[in-house]
Amino acid sequence: MSGEKIKRKAKKISVIVPNYNYAKYLKRRILSIGQQIYPVYELIVLDDASTDNSKTVIKRAVAEASRMKPEMRIKLIWNKKNSGKAISQWIKGVEAATGDYIWIAEADDIARKDFLSEVMKGFEKDQDVVLAYSESAIINKYGILMMPNFRKSRDREGTGHFKNSYIRPGKKEIEEIMAIRCTIPNVSAAVFKNTPELHKYLKLAEKFEQVGDWYLYVKLLENGKIFYNKRSLNLFRVHGGSATKRGIEHVRELEKMHEYFKDNYDLSQDVLDSMGVELGRIKQKYGIIK
């Protein structure tokens, strides 16, 4: 599709970039938004009282991105005090957004230039899609590609679930694979419809320390469809290292999510067995069990 046709058909997308002390990654992140083939209606950058030179980098990068997309609206939000929670910044960004679709683009990640044009196809193909996302590749803190995709780690059962792109009912996605683990490894890979439900479930997700994103995806998908694009259009930066204390909280919240699925879904025995294996794997990962 030509650039002019994309512009004529384009939906209004608000891109939210929440940042805390990621000055060294911000320029590339913001420019990867400015370089999108698909039009960007609004760019909202939130700084959570960073102690590095993030503000300076943001101002310069946004100015450069604005030259790439002069029609793009700009909002800069500076917190005077650190919120201490990433999802609190997501909420603030969504509340400030005026677009019909939301892309929460984490400050240390990168998007390929056709990320939006490819992911938005899900909403164009089926009006019942509420969440569309792409495959992600993994890069390290230096930007070096470590893994081309997350398929193996998300489909440990070897079902081939992520082999092809698809649109399917959210409840079916939950019953077959998302009840086992969070299969959207990075919010930067996802675009959401800007609905009252998004606002509602974001606020409820704030009660979680580790799995708030998983909770959000599940609650949205209970009343809509999901679109998955098999191309690795999102570059997810992994910094490494997780403390045992964080692991204990992760296990506690994983157990809570698993109980929710068991209470509210008719899960197959294979899925129930896989949930048990997944819990054991996470416990072993954090050294909670040997």
Q: Cα–Cα distance between 111 and 91 in angstroms, integer? A: 22
The pLDDT value given to residue 87? 95
Indicate the range of 37-41, 161-165, 181-185, 284-288 predicted with least confidence.
284-288
The pLDDT value given to residue 5? 59
The pLDDT value given to residue 246? 76
For 3-242, CATH gives 3.90.550.10
pLDDT in tens, 264-276: 999 999 999 999 9
The pLDDT value given to residue 6? 58
Indicate if the pLDDT at residue 1 is higher than 80.
no
Burial label for 290, CB within 10 Å (0-12, 13-18, 19+), is: exposed
Q: If you average pLDDT over residues 113-130, what whole number do you get?
A: 98
Q: Cα–Cα distance between 212 and 116 in angstroms, integer? A: 24
In the chain, the amino acid numbered 211 is V
Percent of the chain having pLDDT more than 90?
A: 90
Q: Cα–Cα distance between 96 and 245 in angstroms, integer? A: 33
More reliable by pLDDT, 247 or 14: 14
Confidence of residue 9 (pLDDT cuts 50, 70, 90): confident
Confidence of residue 242 (pLDDT cuts 50, 70, 90): very low
Q: If you average pLDDT over residues 203-231, what whole number do you get?
A: 97
Indicate if the pLDDT at residue 94 is higher than 60.
yes
Indicate if the pLDDT at residue 2 is higher than 80.
no
Mean model confidence pLDDT for the chain: 94
pTM reported for the whole predicted model = 0.94
Q: Which helix (H) or strand (E) holds 26?
A: helix 23-34
The pLDDT value given to residue 239? 85
Whether 178 contacts 217, CB under 8 Å: yes
For residue 87, the 8-state DSSP code is H
Confidence of residue 84 (pLDDT cuts 50, 70, 90): confident
pLDDT in tens, 133-148: 999 999 999 999 999 9
Collect all residues with Cβ–Cβ distance below 8 Å to 79 and sequence separation of at least 6: 46, 47, 48, 49, 89
Give strand pairing partners of 25: none
Per-residue tokens: 61: 């990068």
